[in-house]
Structure 1
Amino acid sequence: MRIAVTGSIATDHLMVFPGNFAEQLITDKVDTVSLSFLVDHLEVHQGGVGANITFGLGRLGLRPALVGAAGVDFAEYGHRLRGAGVDTASVRVSEKLHTARFVCTTDNSQNQIATFYAGAMAEANRIDLAETHERLGGLDLVLVGADDPEAMLRHTATAHALGVPVAADPSQQLARLDTEQTRRLVDGAHLLFTNEYESALLRERTGWDEEEVLERVGTWIVTRAADGVSIISSDGTRRDIPAVLTDAAADPTGVGDALRAGFLAALAWQLPYERAAQLGCALATVVLECVGTQEYKFLPSDLLARIDRVYGREAARDIEPWLAGGA
């Protein structure tokens, strides 16, 4: 299965605040917030939703194509992604701008405050997805992730025109998209990914209720952090998959991207959606236990043990043959 992932490529600056953001907010002053948080830790890692998802797919033994824009500082990052099994030939490298920056602070309750500088991502709308489709001899699925909004719209339209199924994943960009743009990204998608908050925001942006969204997409996957994942089909059928819990949570950044990587890998292996969500949840927990969205490694035996513990021996047995190449 040939999968292309369009989305941001970024450098992550991750900090930890040894308290709770909520304790610093004064209810009747939220319209004039002026806060500064003294943090204990700073770590700089490579990230971006497009790169994170393809990294996870590569670690699971697939060879996904990353479609996005990076900066003049991309050489080392590109080399690392290729080493993880990612096809970077469709990455546009800017001649003057730096790779995007994600700056995020996490508190003791795993709440986050983040900002994002687009940098070279602003050039993503110059990429023609049709060229990737032709270069690879056809694509079987395109995930359209958070990116320059015009690029997201262009990639979605191109995929539909080519007859390639789309996994819509607007995530962080929902805050910038208007009603018409959000509808264009969602309408006709084979899969729709959101977290629980984004699902409400998406309904607000589109003006569609859940039933109206489901009339336009094949399957809606809603991630719910420690409550797991809900898979909602176009006929309204809902399956709730519990999370793989851990006592060793380190940082939630990139957890959703890992879940998507596991989910798409399982679909590439022609496993059912339930197994896809279970693999995604297990890989998400591996990422949760480390700082940095691409710093993790996993042993197939460990991943299978997590799946066995939470979902049972049959689930682990169904997934086991496909994990031999994972690392």
Structure 2
Amino acid sequence: MRIAVTGSIATDHLTFFPGRFTEQLLPDQLAHVSLSFLVDRLEVRRGGVAANIAFGLGGLGLDPLLIGAVGADFADHEVWLKEHGVDTGGVVVSAERHTARFMCTTDADANQIAAFYAGAMTEARTIDLTRLPVGPERLGLVVVAANDPVAMVRHTHQCRRLGIPFAADPSQQLATLDGAEARDLIEGARWLFTNEYEAALLREHTGWRTRDVLERVGTWITTLGERGVRIRRAADGLDLTVPAVADVPVVDPTGVGDAFRAGFLAATGWGLPVDCAARLGCALAAQSLSAVGSQTYDPASPALLATVARGYGSAMADQLAPHLEGIR
């Protein structure tokens, strides 16, 4: 199954604060916050949710098509993605703007404070899914990840009109969407991805209860951080929680959710059941969590299968081994 991934493509500026944000916030002064954190290092890395997901899928041998808008400064990032199995034929280059920037500070508890400059990403709304180098009829799934909001709405509508199954992954953009937009983006999705906070935000913005959301999507996948992932589906009453891989060193949480999505979608693309897909997603997330940057782990490393075996047993590793062994 050919997967297209739409969404942000960015350069990440990652800094690390050795203290705790919570210790710097005064409850009686939250209306007047003015803080500066002295950070101890800076990492400039390749990122963006669509690029991160595509990187993971490419490393697992799925030949994903990346769709998004970038600046002329994307050249090195593009070479990197191509070297890791990503088709960049759906990427457009802006003549006026730089590639988006993600600026994030992580504290000692892995909490993050971030800002995002959209830059060229605002031009993603001009991308037409019917004019890609890969015809819509060859796409088995389109991931609509966080992007220019107009682009997200356009690509969701095109998927419905063209009959292409899609995964809704609004993530960071939920904060900017009104209720009608949020409802529009998830209605009819085969997969809906959120983290726990985003799940609550989605219910608040849409005005829908959990049952209402489940009636409008195929399967809802909610990542729970160190507690793993919950998978719910109305059609058969599925309500499954898969634990995370235990005792993983926390080096950098940036892009961990994107790695999970890549592992989950790769496994479902291979025709594996969702419980197996969730375990592969959690194992890939563990690999990402142990590396600085969201595209520095190796999805095809033998260590991935070892992580599956350690976290979920040899039977699960044996089930995944035919798909993971010999990727490259």
Pairs within 5 Å for 1:132-151? 132=132, 135=135, 137-151=137-151
Q: Report how far residue 305 of structure 1 moved.
A: 1.8
Corresponding position of 2:152: 152
Distance 1:212 1:133, change over 3 A: farther
Name 1:281's counterpart in structure 2. Answer: 282
Cα distance, 1:9 vs structure 2 = 0.3
Match of 1:176 in 2: 176
What is residue 192 of structure 2 aligned with on the other side? 192
Aligned to 1:211: 211
Shift of 1:237: 2.1
Question: Distance in 2 between the 1:247 and 1:189 partners?
Answer: 32
Partner Cα separation in structure 2 for residue 6 and residue 310 of structure 1 = 31
Are residue 295 (structure 1) and residue 286 (structure 2) matched? no
2: distance between equivalents of 1:291 and 1:7? 22
SS of 1:73's equivalent?
helix
Per-residue deviation, 1:18? 0.6
Change over 3 Å in CA distance of 1:133–1:72 after alignment to 2: closer
Structure 1: gaps spanning 5 or more residues? none
The number of residue pairs the alignment matches comes to: 327
CA gap 1:298/1:134 in 2 versus in 1, 3 angstroms: closer
8 Å Cα contact 1:60-1:325 kept in structure 2: no
User: What is residue 223 of structure 1 aligned with on the other side?
Assistant: 223
How many angstroms does 1:136 deviate by? 6.4
Partner of 1:309: 310
**TM alignment of 1:46-57, pairs within 5 A:** 46-57=46-57
Q: Distance in 1 between matches of 2:122 and 2:215?
A: 32
Q: CA RMSD, aligned part only?
A: 1.2
Q: Report the CA distance between 1:102 and its aligned residue.
A: 0.1
Q: TM-score, normalised by structure 1?
A: 0.97
- Between the two proteins, what is the percent identity of the paired residues? 58
Question: In the alignment, is residue 319 of structure 1 matched against residue 309 of structure 2?
Answer: no
- Residue identity in the other structure for 2:265: L
CA distance in 2, matches of 1:142, 1:64: 10
CA distance, structure 2, for counterparts of residue 44 and residue 247 of structure 1 = 23
Whole-angstrom CA distance in 2 between matches of 1:249 and 1:214: 32
Question: Deviation of residue 194 (structure 1)?
Answer: 0.1
Residue 109 of structure 1 is matched in structure 2 by 109
Aligned to 2:130: 130
The one-character-per-residue Cα deviations of 1:72-99 (angstroms, maximum 9, x if unpaired) are: 1111111111111111011010011100
1:112 to 1:326, Cα distance in 2 relative to 1, 3 A? farther
**Aligned 8 A contact 1:56 1:262 in 2:** yes
Task: Give distance in 1, aligned partners of 2:80 and 2:41.
Answer: 24
Distance 2:264 2:114 in 1: 26
